[in-house]
Amino acid sequence: MALLDFFLLRKKNTANIAKERLQIIIAKQNKNFNEPNYFPQLKNELLIVISKYIKITPEMITIQLEQKGINISILELNIKIPE
């Protein structure tokens, strides 16, 4: 009977899907909450400087600031460079 149940399982219901999506949104908001006040301007200025050398759009660049302890911060910059 368990084998039959395995093959006949239905897709996740919409409540579970909505719950997972909400958890992702909340996690992203909590991550952005810890950003310093200057961070949006820093992102913008980095985009301007990189755009001088490579033709990119804001969607092609991701910048993250990660706290690794009390006195250590890591700035991570990822760019999808067009060919």
pLDDT at 24: 82
Torsion of CA 12, 18, 20, 22, to 10 degrees: 180
pLDDT attached to residue 49: 92
Query: Where along the chain do its domains lie?
Result: 2-79
Q: Enter the pTM of the model.
A: 0.49
Q: Over the stretch 3-55, which tens digit does the pLDDT of each residue have? A: 655 556 555 678 788 888 888 887 776 665 567 788 889 888 988 998 899 88
Contacts of 39 (CB under 8 A, 6+ apart): 65
CATH topology classification for 2-79: Cell Cycle; Chain A (3.30.1070)
